[in-house]
Amino acid sequence: MTTLDDSTPAVPPLVIAIDGPAASGKSSVARELAAHLGWTYVNTGNMYRAATLAVILADADPTDESAVLEVIDRTEFTCPVRDGRSVILVNGADVDGELNSEPVNKAVSHVARIPKVRAILLDLQRGIGRSQPSVMEGRDIGTVIFPDAPWKFYIDASEEVRAKRRGLQGLTDSVRDRDRMDSTRKTAPLMAAADAVVVDSSEMNLAEVVAHVRALLASRSFPETGPVQAPAASA
């Protein structure tokens, strides 16, 4: 029997989904695009990083699922929008400055593979995307969070280029290990949605990637001026 899912609205959300592996440049592209459009910028990686930070601060083992869930269950995560971007608060505190530390880089993919953690953050992410036009970046936005998003991109770059970009940011981060864990997990693995446009940014700078994505949007029923309406879903 087919049932109607009340949680799935008939109108496609005003969401531009940007997925991709670690250090592919998707955050910079999503931020620039959101600023240009006046849409809300949503970095879902920061939500997983905030959950991981809570686990680390509680001295729990990020690889122990029940220990992680015990911490997550007693922690409140909220996502107010400030200055055009969604901010993740942990028990009301802004933890932005602590999200890219080495311990968080090391542990985040362990925490992110736990289905219940993903379910909690999925609700937050859908809440934002359904309430305002958003450019949302992550690993599973086009596949799981907003499979009905009218505009989807998968920003990639070679492993060498990505490792180099992360190094230039002055961060120690084993992007290869995180990618392996993110792409092999059972729940919401990192992958391009079947209907996403894949952009290889290895040979492009940020301005070139943003210009390329904007040109692709313009060719996909995305008006640069005037009221924006999602195109009707094709049958």
Residues in contact with ligand CDP by CB under 6 A are: 22-23, 27, 44-45, 48-49, 108-109, 112, 138-140, 178, 182
- Give whichever of 44 and 134 is closer to ligand CDP, judged by the CB atom: 44
Q: Strand 85-86 vs strand 81-82: parallel, antiparallel, or unpaired?
A: antiparallel
Cβ–Cβ under 8 Å, residues 55 and 62:
yes
Neighbours of 221 (CB within 10 A): 13
Q: Considering the complex, what minimum distance in angstroms separates the CB of residue 182 from ligand CDP?
A: 5
Q: Considering the complex, what minimum distance in angstroms separates the CB of residue 199 from ligand CDP?
A: 15
Q: Considering the complex, what minimum distance in angstroms separates the CB of residue 138 from ligand CDP?
A: 2
DSSP state of 201: -
Residue 103, CB-side half-sphere exposure with 13 Å CA sphere: 13
Residue 125, CB-side half-sphere exposure with 13 Å CA sphere: 29
- Give whichever of 96 and 228 is closer to ligand CDP, judged by the CB atom: 96
Closest residue to ligand CDP in the complex (CB) = 45
Q: Considering the complex, what minimum distance in angstroms separates the CB of residue 23 from ligand CDP?
A: 5
Burial (CB count <10 Å: 0-12, 13-18, 19+), residue 205: exposed
- Give whichever of 171 and 228 is closer to ligand CDP, judged by the CB atom: 171
- Give a three-class secondary structure readout of 82-118: ECCEECCEECCEECHHHCCCHHHHHHHHHHHCCHHHH
- Give whichever of 138 and 150 is closer to ligand CDP, judged by the CB atom: 138
Q: Considering the complex, what minimum distance in angstroms separates the CB of residue 12 from ligand CDP?
A: 19
Q: Considering the complex, what minimum distance in angstroms separates the CB of residue 159 from ligand CDP?
A: 13
Tokens of 24: 């592919």
Q: Render 142-167 in DSSP notation, one character per residue.
A: IIII-TT-SEEEEEE--HHHHHHHHH
Q: Considering the complex, what minimum distance in angstroms separates the CB of residue 133 from ligand CDP?
A: 19
Q: What is the CA radius of gyration of the chain?
A: 17
- Give whichever of 44 and 201 is closer to ligand CDP, judged by the CB atom: 44
How far apart (Å, rounded) are the C-alpha atoms in residues 112 and 118?
7
- Give whichever of 81 and 144 is closer to ligand CDP, judged by the CB atom: 144
- Give whichever of 98 and 228 is closer to ligand CDP, judged by the CB atom: 98
